[in-house]
Structure 1
Amino acid sequence: MTKRTFKGSTYKRCTCTQPGTKKQLGSQCPKLKRANGMWRSNHGTWSYQAELPKRHDKTRRTRRRHGFASQTDAQNQLDKIADLVELGERRGDTTLATIGDLIDNRLRTGEPFPTPEEVAKQLDAGNTSLGAMPTVGEWLTSWITTRKKIREGTRIAYQFHITNWLTPHLGHYPLDALTVDHISRMFDAMDERNDTITAARNSDDPEIRKGVRGLRIIGAATMQRYRATLRTALNAAIRAQKITFNPATYVELPSGRRPKALLWTPDRVERWQRTGEKPSRVMVWTPEQTGTFLDHAEGHPYYALFHLIAYRGLRRGEACGLPWWNIDLPNRSITISTSLVQLGWRTEFGEPKSDASGRIVALDEASTLVLRRQKKHQKQLRAAAGDAWVEHELVCTEADGSPLHPAKLTDAFHVIADAAELPPVRLHDLRHGAATLMLAAGADLKVVQELLGHSTIAITADTYTHVLPELARETAEAAASIVPRNQRRNRPNVA
């Protein structure tokens, strides 16, 4: 195929319809030409039809475009296509098909055609894609590998989403062809998987139950995170002028709002003991239950960290990565500026979770005393280790001074909580206990927000909306029980 043999033509058409049938006459409308056979300039518009180079799989592709004001305008577009096709002919079938992809993509997006000289320069430089529209999978791979200024934990989460669901379900679609419906069907597949797992768990067949052991239901909040990853990647595609519309924004999903924190009240503890069911994913110990845990944890190598999490609301990574140089014992304060983050099993030091996470935390007298004791204990560990000691200047370490793996802190927490026969909470919920203690003491939500390092007070309010009135009721009951009453004398007179 060369410019001389390139198959393309121009024609004129209009939108007039046939009386009775309403069928468009198109190029057959008699009003398009005058009686002398000349085209009328005030009726209809010009179009062209082009036979593009065959695809890589040898299938044909014919394209038509309409709405040109003159035949010259339509022919100019055909000539540009023909010039590009001629360049491809000189470079072989593979390049010809790729140039056909380029032309096809520009026709879809409305972008102007590059000149043959521009395309030749790209080919000579080894660029064989010629800016053709990537698939969703290709774009996701390119986006995640070139993304800068991103926390490693976030990168791992993005990669997990891409590998496990986004690419398998959406990766084959051209980026500009991805629709809201395509994405919705992926989430429908997640729901179907959840139903399958639930049914298998409830099966009477032990082999079927065994087959889904370890598989987790994909909850509403997790679905929201998958959509957020895709939406972020597609926004980057918009900035790169690959697409103009982000379909992920318009997919309807359950809200996935964070679960409300609930206190382990006596009634809830009793029901949990009977059924084994937790009323909420986020359960919080009462101040008395927190005290029971700390009593059982006293003397444990990690006690100082448990105490700081329970009293001052540090996150696990903030506690494990807390250096002595960020602690001002004379002025009783901690500066949170580092975190030991778990990435799979690997750990690394990084910045706190968000800007709000970097904060100064005031220390109470008891916490200050715990840290002084920990410093004394660590001197003993350093002396015992001798030359084997690895100095990291962290508050809590392994016996040789190396950083404490966050997972080990979690494991120790559950062992102690089980031994104390306490209702189940996560280690992260021990941090919620710090908020509970402050709310019980009458602290304002804004103060609790700053203590915990929440980015907005809305997060604090959403999490502790249910805890606050329950604490108030418990306080009211405790206050009422202090007042001695003579029950006989205060019985109502029913005579």
Structure 2
Amino acid sequence: MPGQRKRNPNGAGTITKRKDGRYQCAVYVLQPDGTRARKFAYGKTWAECDAKRRALLDKVASGVPVPTRSAKLADWLPYWLDNMIKPKRKRTTYAKYEVHVRLYLVPMLGTKRLESLSVADVRRFLVRLEKDTTAATAKESHKVLRTALSAACREELITRNVVTLTEPPRVEQPDITPWTLEETLSFLAAARTDPLYAAFMLAIALGFRRGEIVGLRWQDVDLDKRVIRVRKQRQRVGGEAYEDDPKGRRRKQALPLPAICVAPLRWQRMRQASMRERAGSDWQESGYVFTTRTGRPVEPRNVYRSFTRVAANAELRVIRLHDARHGCATLLTAAGVAPRVVMEILGHSQIAVTMNVYTHVVQDTQREAVSHMDRLLKRRVDRE
């Protein structure tokens, strides 16, 4: 008597061969709404199809929802933000992505399903958004949507990312005009009596970012050995102040402290000791280099406010505090420092970032090189 054909246990799914020669598996999976539904997957061979069946069963065992129908962007984008961006990326990144999802992507593309979104849909969205806002906003939304759909591809919810097939809007980079050496020296002279004078010196001499300045602690400053580290930065997002890891290569660095920064930092330490004595029991020890009169950390925006106030009082062009980093690069390059060293000092993760941001510095160097060439060729022509 022939033996009975073995069947997979209940819930293990089935594999069948289709008329077109491909194999098809079917597994009951969990839906986002808590119900169960049958999910189909396909493969050219039985082994390929069985691997997909096992992958679906693993998700079932882990309680991961697997939609049988492609989700709408209005459902996928918030899920992607909360489960893939929020746990792994910086809060500032999450906040920036959330704004684009809430204000632009969901209102304008939310009804589209992942599987039905087309290149034409994305292109029309970008054209409309650029018209209603700016090219920079449309370009950033393009980046957010591309990242979200790349995650959907990895989750095997869609087979291709149509956003990668569309060109983002072109954004003209604004001309960067940092202070000249004379303007920088005038600012430092005017800021000498300001409580944040040492902070401005770090921004100009080492290119510190605003968050890196207010997040600096005394334990990371060695004035005797003239070494400084940036281990944390302070940010404020959604009304909440918090500490985060610094950008780029900062955390891995122990930077030599320029001699011009040592005296202002010593003065800051003495000034803070005086404030601590006057505050008495109201003092809140935080360990930060720059604090309020009661020891609390300085708000990042207040550093910029003081910076612009001093510049305006000195009748200087008012620039962004971040542009002090550009000025730092300008001064270092003018002094003949190699771009790679400038990159290390400013904490960029890639040399391309340094070169792209400070193209104007490179152009000045090119003009000097061409001038040398002119002198050499003119000398040879004059001889002949």
TM-score, normalising length: structure 1? 0.61
Letter in 2 for 1:134: A
From 452, 457, 463, give the equivalent of 2:351: 457
Once the two structures are TM-superposed, the CA of residue 130 in structure 1 deviates from its matched residue by 5.7
Larger radius of gyration: 1
Structure 1 127/350 Cα, relative in aligned 2: closer, same or farther at 3 Å? closer
Once the two structures are TM-superposed, the CA of residue 128 in structure 1 deviates from its matched residue by 10
- The separation in 1 between residues aligned to 2:162 and 2:319, in whole angstroms, is 38
Given that residues 358 and 453 in structure 1 are in contact (C-alpha distance below 8 angstroms), is that contact kept between their aligned partners in structure 2? Answer: no
Letter in 2 for 1:165: Y
From 374, 396, 401, give the equivalent of 2:268: 374
Letter in 2 for 1:137: A
Q: Which residue of 2 aligns with 1:254?
A: 169
From 243, 260, 264, give the equivalent of 1:349: 243
Aligned pairs for 1:331-480 within 5 A: 331-355=225-249, 358-470=252-364
Structure 1 69/233 Cα, relative in aligned 2: closer, same or farther at 3 Å? closer
| Pair 1:133 & 2:70 matched | yes
- The separation in 1 between residues aligned to 2:158 and 2:358, in whole angstroms, is 41
Once the two structures are TM-superposed, the CA of residue 68 in structure 1 deviates from its matched residue by 2.9
- The separation in 1 between residues aligned to 2:113 and 2:243, in whole angstroms, is 39
Once the two structures are TM-superposed, the CA of residue 417 in structure 1 deviates from its matched residue by 1.1
Once the two structures are TM-superposed, the CA of residue 345 in structure 1 deviates from its matched residue by 3.7
Letter in 2 for 1:145: D
Root-mean-square deviation (Å): 3.6
Identical positions, percent: 33
- The separation in 1 between residues aligned to 2:367 and 2:66, in whole angstroms, is 67
Once the two structures are TM-superposed, the CA of residue 369 in structure 1 deviates from its matched residue by 1.2
From 68, 83, 94, give the equivalent of 2:19: 68
Segments of structure 1 that go 5 or more residues without pairing to the other structure are 1-66, 85-94, 195-217, 260-279, 478-495
- The separation in 2 between residues aligned to 1:391 and 1:256, in whole angstroms, is 45
- The separation in 2 between residues aligned to 1:233 and 1:109, in whole angstroms, is 26
Structure 1 346/238 Cα, relative in aligned 2: closer, same or farther at 3 Å? same
Letter in 1 for 2:282: A
Given that residues 339 and 351 in structure 1 are in contact (C-alpha distance below 8 angstroms), is that contact kept between their aligned partners in structure 2? Answer: yes
Say which SS state the counterpart of residue 341 (structure 1) adopts.
Answer: strand
Once the two structures are TM-superposed, the CA of residue 129 in structure 1 deviates from its matched residue by 8.3
- The separation in 1 between residues aligned to 2:232 and 2:316, in whole angstroms, is 31
From 116, 121, 138, give the equivalent of 1:182: 121
Aligned pairs for 1:23-38 within 5 A: none
Aligned length: 337
- The separation in 2 between residues aligned to 1:323 and 1:127, in whole angstroms, is 43
Structure 1 173/334 Cα, relative in aligned 2: closer, same or farther at 3 Å? same
Say which SS state the counterpart of residue 178 (structure 1) adopts.
Answer: coil
Once the two structures are TM-superposed, the CA of residue 359 in structure 1 deviates from its matched residue by 2.1
From 169, 172, 179, give the equivalent of 2:108: 169
Once the two structures are TM-superposed, the CA of residue 127 in structure 1 deviates from its matched residue by 10
Q: Which residue of 1 aligns with 2:5?
A: none
Say which SS state the counterpart of residue 423 (structure 1) adopts.
Answer: coil
Once the two structures are TM-superposed, the CA of residue 360 in structure 1 deviates from its matched residue by 2.0
Once the two structures are TM-superposed, the CA of residue 256 in structure 1 deviates from its matched residue by 3.9
TM-score, normalising length: structure 2? 0.78
Q: Which residue of 1 aligns with 2:97?
A: 158
Q: Which residue of 2 aligns with 1:313?
A: 207
- The separation in 1 between residues aligned to 2:251 and 2:284, in whole angstroms, is 28
- The separation in 1 between residues aligned to 2:89 and 2:177, in whole angstroms, is 31
Q: Which residue of 2 aligns with 1:219?
A: 135
Q: Which residue of 2 aligns with 1:239?
A: 154
Structure 1 176/411 Cα, relative in aligned 2: closer, same or farther at 3 Å? same
